[in-house]
């Protein structure tokens, strides 16, 4: 791996100063928070940020507080040199890589909690997960002070929760949603795809198949949610080795359940393939 020109910052104080200086120069800062293990999905966020910003900051922080005790924090893939090279190729100027010690020092005690939206879907199965997400994103936004931050639609509940937090706390930042990037066979890109065995990887395409089926029903005028979800579940349950966790149709902003499909509705699901939990969604137009 050749050395990169991307500026590496690990100190929060240095990042703050850098951001303040950039702002004082009138530079527009775009921000992409990640947990590293960058793939084309992340890179599409960086590219989207580079189109709209003078300076793009990408953070890499595997945030311990958003993993449950039985989840994959320890084994989550980490390769900062590779991440730096990939981020730079997509237009990243500053890679912010704080330590857990600086993010959560002794006496740390604060949680940002979004009610309601976090109680369902992934939130129902990953208690505390979204508190970890909103808290670390609030911190990162306050450290990096971007004009806008970019999130993938792949994590559809996450971006809705973050939009809610930003609006509720009057945070001075725009949230930009970027469409999900998929493999040629439709599987949504995810750092966790690396965990899949060859067999599991082959089976995983059923998730996108079910979502595409819902889209085709919608396009043919079938908008009754129970029927659409029922057909999706039948498709997924027909595939051995895929355990559906949830499959819902909700408003993509408020995450409230809907009874009819229409523009702005998100159809979202989560499923286990062996020990690997994958999520995916589509938003109707």
Tokens of 53: 């910003």
Tokens of 269: 């699901």
Near its own copies by CB under 8 A, which window of 62-70, 101-109, 147-155, 200-208?
101-109
Near its own copies by CB under 8 A, which window of 64-72, 137-145, 233-241, 276-284?
137-145
Contact flag: residue 114 with its own copies (CB under 8 A)? yes
Among 18, 129, 139, 177, binds its own copies (CB under 8 A): 139
Tokens of 150: 């970019």
DSSP 102: H
- Say how many residues make up the chain: 285
Fill in the per-residue mask, 218 to 247: x = in contact with its own copies (CB under 8 A), - = not in contact. Answer: ------------------------------
From the list 39, 42, 113, 147, the catalytic residue is 42
Residues in contact with its own copies, total (CB under 8 A)?
Answer: 28
Single out the residue of 113, 119, 115, 159 nearest to residue 252, CA to CA: 159
Q: Output the DSSP codes for 116-160.
A: STTSSTHHHHSTTHHHHHHHHHHHHHHHH--SEEEEETTSHHHHH
Q: Is the Cβ of residue 105 or residue 238 nearer to its own copies in the bound state?
A: 105
Which residue is associated with the tokens 């609030």?
138
Tokens of 187: 């599987």
Among 143, 150, 204, 266, binds its own copies (CB under 8 A): 143
The CB-of-256 to its own copies minimum distance in angstroms stands at: 9
Q: How far apart are CA 215 and CA 256, in angstroms?
A: 19
Q: Is the Cβ of residue 169 or residue 222 nearer to its own copies in the bound state?
A: 169
- 268 within 8 A of 281, measured Cβ to Cβ: yes
Q: Known catalytic residue: 42?
A: yes
Contact flag: residue 115 with its own copies (CB under 8 A)? yes
Among 138, 204, 261, 284, binds its own copies (CB under 8 A): 138
End-to-end alpha-carbon separation of the chain, Å? Answer: 42
Determine which helix (DSSP H) or strand (DSSP E) holds 242, and give its type and residue range. strand 242-251
Among 2, 70, 110, 259, binds its own copies (CB under 8 A): 110
Tokens of 52: 């709209």
Near its own copies by CB under 8 A, which window of 76-84, 112-120, 207-215, 271-279?
112-120
Q: Tell me the backbone φ, ψ of residue 249, rounded to 5 degrees.
A: -125, 120
Among 18, 126, 129, 145, binds its own copies (CB under 8 A): 145
Contact flag: residue 257 with its own copies (CB under 8 A)? no
Q: Strand 265-273's sheet: what is its strand order? A: 242-251, 265-273, 276-283
Contact flag: residue 216 with its own copies (CB under 8 A)? no
Q: How far apart are CA 92 and CA 240, in angstroms?
A: 41
Contact flag: residue 137 with its own copies (CB under 8 A)? no
Fill in the per-residue mask, 149 to 178: x = in contact with its own copies (CB under 8 A), - = not in contact. Answer: ---------------xx--xxxxx------
Q: Which residues are catalytic?
A: 42
Binding site for its own copies (CB under 8 A): 12, 16, 107-117, 134-135, 138-139, 142-143, 145, 164-165, 168-172, 254
């Amino acid at each position: 791996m050749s050395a990169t020109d991307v500026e590496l910052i690990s100190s929060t104080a240095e990042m703050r100063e850098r951001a303040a200086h950039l702002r004082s120069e009138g530079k527009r800062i775009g921000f992409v928070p990640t947990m590293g293990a960058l793939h084309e999905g992340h890179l599409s966020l960086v590219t989207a940020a580079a189109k709209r910003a003078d300076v793009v900051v990408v953070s890499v922080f595997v945030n311990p507080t958003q993993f449950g005790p039985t989840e994959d924090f320890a084994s989550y893939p980490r390769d900062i040199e590779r991440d730096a090279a990939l981020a730079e190729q997509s237009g990243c100027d500053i890679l912010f890589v704080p330590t857990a010690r600086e993010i959560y020092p002794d006496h740390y005690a604060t949680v940002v909690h979004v009610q309601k939206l976090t109680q369902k879907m992934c939130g129902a199965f990953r208690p505390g997960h979204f508190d970890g997400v909103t808290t670390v994103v609030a911190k990162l936004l306050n450290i990096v002070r971007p004009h806008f931050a970019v999130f993938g639609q792949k994590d559809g509940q996450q971006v809705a929760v973050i939009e809610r937090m930003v609006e509720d706390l009057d945070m001075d930042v725009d949230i930009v949603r970027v469409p999900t990037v998929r493999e040629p066979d439709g599987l949504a890109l995810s750092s966790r795809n690396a965990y899949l065995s060859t067999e599991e990887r082959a089976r995983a395409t059923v998730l996108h198949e079910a979502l595409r089926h819902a889209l085709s029903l919608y396009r043919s005028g079938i908008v009754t949610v129970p029927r659409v979800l029922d057909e999706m579940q039948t498709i997924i349950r027909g595939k051995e080795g895929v355990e559906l966790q949830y499959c819902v149709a909700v408003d993509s902003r408020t995450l409230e359940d809907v009874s009819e499909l229409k523009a702005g509705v998100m159809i979202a699901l989560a499923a286990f393939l062996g020990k690997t939990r994958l999520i995916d969604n589509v938003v109707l137009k």
